[in-house]
Amino acid sequence: MWNDAIPDRSAQQALKRKAILRAAAAIFSRQGSHGATLENVADSLGVSKAALYRYVLNKNDLILACQEEALEIADRALTEGEAQGETALEKIRIGLRLYLVAMMAELGVPALILEDNALHGEEAARTQAKRDSYETRMRRLVAEGQADGSIVPAEPKVAVFMLLGAIHWVAKWYRPDGAWTPETVADAIVDLATRALDTSPVPALAEMPERTQQH
């Protein structure tokens, strides 16, 4: 029907759920998951709270969905980085840049990963296991970079915490209506963060456009 020009019911539901996650991610990033409510999310979308219950069970379900989406984005980005990069440092840079661009352009959810107490019980264990897996992959790349000469000697765990701290905090201050595009911010943040690990850092970084609307 309609030559598939109109999304079917399941596709429409997926789009609506995506919109809910994006709205929730923005609100959780600004207000914190404990301070935000489902009413806040519904108001930002211009729908009733009851409408949200067709797609999520409760606020915890929404927090879990946001965290899992963020972790899936991070995992895919790192896999792409491993496929494209030649040195371990290049793999990390590509993976983090793709992750950061997706975080800002698609969802803005990785800030929730910083809130370790947002979930409890089985839900917390599930997301913690995924975070641990991702961080283990990153630490292996740091060790690989020290072996191939692209990364300076450093404790891999501390190096990964430093990188992810810089990446995740962007969700707290980035504004999509500001002067900086996701790509511009990603390039700058990843360049700055990884210079600390680079055995041969470039003399200068690319300049960013004048900051006119970011607050």
Q: pLDDT per residue over 153-205, tens digit each?
A: 999 999 999 999 898 888 778 877 778 888 998 999 999 999 999 999 877 66
- Whether residue 162 contacts residue 92, with contact meaning beta carbons closer than 8 Å, is answered with no
Helical (H) or strand (E) element with 117:
none
The residues spanned by each domain of the chain are 64-195
Residue 37, classed as helix, strand or coil, is coil
- What one-letter code names the amino acid at 82? E
Cα separation, 193 vs 213, in Å, equals: 23
pLDDT of residue 7: 62
pTM above 0.85, yes or no: no
Other CB atoms within 10 Å distance of the CB of residue 199: 14
Quick one: what percent of the chain has pLDDT higher than 70?
A: 85
pLDDT of residue 207: 67
| CATH architecture, range 64-195 | Orthogonal Bundle (1.10)
Q: Which is nearest to 134 in space by CA: 85, 75, 80?
A: 75
